[in-house]
């Protein structure tokens, strides 16, 4: 599943937040959307998920306009937002079942898919525990499992590791990479943390609403004459 952004610009009132942003994601690959705080990452996610209305430019999902075929397109997208959105008093499985019902899945189908995703994230044995008992990293895994229930081909993750310790961050990042390799998922992982990005990742660097680099990490560094992505990120944005 490919997603393509063509000349996306967006303003909050008079304030330009995204300026002529264009890119195309490669099907079945992990992509890092790297940008410091305020770069415009969440705004871009808002547009991709249609929480925000497109002001200028075009978004295409599998060559279909997101504007013209919204429901068809949205069925292909799974989202993990920055803020945790689980019901802490419901069990892990109840959280998944509730979400599955919103997508029109039968109880049986929801159970089968939910258990499959929980097993993938090594959480099946916690299925009957209230989410409140899980640590932050495990809660995030449940959120990703939930976002995959309707079998989207594109997964958007907006700074999913915020508030997690280093080990949980690394684990979550590796899980999503494995999903891309194993089931051919396309992932867009937004972060301001350079340590979550690898040199051979496809990387999009966003700063003050502009896409400053787009390509495989190594190639970007070659073009910019930098040693590694950390140096590139620092040179381009002052962050890192
Ligand atoms: N509802 C809003 N009204 C006005 N300005 C906003 C609004 N939401 C975000 N902004 C501004 O738009 C810019 C981009 O914000 P956005 O949240 O998209 O960036 P981000 O890269 O996701 O950063 P962060 O990691 O801090 O969330 C920032 O300057 C922010 O202050």
Q: What are the structural domain ranges in the chain?
A: 27-54+70-76+154-240, 86-151
> What percent of the chain is predicted at pLDDT more than 70?
99
DSSP, res 62? T
| DSSP bridge partners of 104 | none
CATH 3.40.1410.10 given to domain 27-54+70-76+154-240: no
User: Stretch 161-182: mean pLDDT, rounded?
Assistant: 89
Say yes or no: CB of residue 12 within 6 Å of ligand 1.
Answer: yes
The pLDDT of residue 218: 95
Q: Report the pLDDT averaged over residues 22-49.
A: 95
Binding site membership of 166 for ligand 1 (Cβ less than 6 Å): no
Residue whose CA lies nearest to ligand 1 atom number 13: 38
pLDDT digits (tens, 9 = 90+) for 214-237: 999 999 999 999 999 999 999 999
Minimal-distance CA residue to ligand 1 atom 3: 12
Q: For ligand 1, is residue 17 a contact (CB within 6 Å)? A: yes
Q: Confirm or reject: Cβ of 51 under 6 Å from ligand 1.
A: no
Per-residue confidence (pLDDT) for residue 12, from 0 to 100: 96
Contacts of 51 (CB under 8 A, 6+ apart): 45
pLDDT, residue 1, reads 63
Instruction: Give me the residue label for tokens 């304030």.
Output: 15
- For the chain, strand residue ranges (E) read 3-12, 15-24, 30-34, 56-61, 64-65, 77-80, 154-158, 186-191, 202-207, 210-216
Exposure string for 160-187, b = 16+ CB within 10 A, e = fewer = bbeebeeebbebbbebbbebbeeeebbb
Please state, rounded to an integer, the average pLDDT across all residues of the chain: 92
Q: What is the pLDDT of residue 70?
A: 72
Q: Which of 37, 38, 82 to mutate to test the pocket of ligand 1 (most atoms within 8 A of CB)?
A: 38
Query: 217: Cβ below 6 Å to ligand 1?
Result: no
Helices (H) and strands (E) in the chain, counts: 8, 10
CA distances 174 to 101, 135, 228, Å, are 29, 18, 20
Q: Report whether residue 207 contacts ligand 1, using a CB cutoff of 6 Å.
A: no
The ligand 1 atom nearest the CA atom of 82: 27
Confidence of residue 131 (pLDDT cuts 50, 70, 90): very high
**pLDDT > 80? residue 2:** no
In the predicted model, what is the mean pLDDT of residues 26-43?
A: 95
Instruction: Say if residue 28's pLDDT is above 90.
Output: yes
Checking if the pLDDT of 200 tops 70, the result is yes
- Predicted TM-score (pTM) of the model is 0.92
Note the maximum CA span of the chain: 55
Using a 6 Å cutoff on CB, does residue 41 contact ligand 1? yes
CA distance 41 to 208: 10
- Is the CB of 83 within 6 Å of ligand 1? no
Distances (CA, A) of 126 to 32, 112, 115: 30, 16, 11
CA-CA distance, 61 to 125, in Å (whole number)?
36
Please determine, for residue 95, whether its predicted confidence score (pLDDT) is greater than 80. Answer: yes
Cα 237 to the center of its chain, rounded Å: 21
What ipTM did this prediction achieve? Answer: 0.96
């Amino acid at each position: 599943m490919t997603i393509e952004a063509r000349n996306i610009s967006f303003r909050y009132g008079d304030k330009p937040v995204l300026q002529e942003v264009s890119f195309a994601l490669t099907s079945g690959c992990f992509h890092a959307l790297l940008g410091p705080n305020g770069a415009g990452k969440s705004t871009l996610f808002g547009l991709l998920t249609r929480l925000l209305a497109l002001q200028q430019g075009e978004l295409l999902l599998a060559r279909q306009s997101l504007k013209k075929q919204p429901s068809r397109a949205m069925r292909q997208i799974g989202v993990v937002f920055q803020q945790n959105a689980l019901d802490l008093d419901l069990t892990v499985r109840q959280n998944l079942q509730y979400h599955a019902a919103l997508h029109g899945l039968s109880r049986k189908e929801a159970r089968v898919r939910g258990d499959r995703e929980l097993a993938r994230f090594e959480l099946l044995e916690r299925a009957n525990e209230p989410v409140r008992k899980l640590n932050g990293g495990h809660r995030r895994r449940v959120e990703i499992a939930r976002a995959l229930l309707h079998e989207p081909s594109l997964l958007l993750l907006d700074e999913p590791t915020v508030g997690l310790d280093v080990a949980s961050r690394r684990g979550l990042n590796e899980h999503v990479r494995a999903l891309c390799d194993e089931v051919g998922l396309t992932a867009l992982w937004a972060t301001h943390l350079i340590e979550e990005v690898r040199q051979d990742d496809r990387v999009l660097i966003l700063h003050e609403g502009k896409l400053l680099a787009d390509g495989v990490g190594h190639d970007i560094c070659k073009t910019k004459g930098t040693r590694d992505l950390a140096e590139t990120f620092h040179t381009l944005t002052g962050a890192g």
